[in-house]
């Protein structure tokens, strides 16, 4: 299996690259060769990631939005916590 679920979410097997990383680059309209090279993926790994994203687009995008929301909440928490009033 090329796509596996890890504690980080849907990941390309044998890498630390998540499908959400790939989605961000696809949304930015980077060409597949660029995405492959940025993440040091094989053609097969990238094809599998794109195929999985296309086949499960609604679910993958929903998970991506949840991750972005969680990251923003974490960023806001730490920004507020680290804000020092003088």
Work out the average pLDDT over 9-19.
93
Tokens at 20, concatenated = 């959400």
- pLDDT(54) > 90: yes
The answer to whether residue 82 scores a pLDDT higher than 90 is no
The CA-CA-CA angle for residues 53, 38, 2, to 5°, reads: 40
User: Which residues are within 8 A (CB) of 64 and not within 5 positions of it... i.e. 6 or more apart?
Assistant: 19, 20, 23
Mean pLDDT, the chain, rounded, equals: 90
Overall average pLDDT of the 31-53 stretch: 95
* pLDDT reported for residue 86: 55
15-48 burial string, b = 16+ CB within 10 Å, else e?
A: bebbbbbbbebbeeeeebeebbeebebeeebbeb
């Amino acid at each position: 299996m090329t796509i596996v679920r890890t504690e980080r979410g849907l990941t390309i097997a044998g890498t630390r690259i998540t499908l959400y990383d790939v989605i961000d680059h696809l949304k930015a309209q980077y060409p597949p060769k660029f995405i492959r090279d940025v993440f040091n993926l094989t053609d097969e790994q990238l094809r599998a990631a794109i195929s999985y994203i296309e086949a499960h687009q609604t679910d993958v995008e929903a998970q991506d939005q949840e991750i972005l929301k969680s990251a923003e909440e974490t960023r806001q928490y730490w920004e507020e916590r680290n804000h020092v009033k003088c």
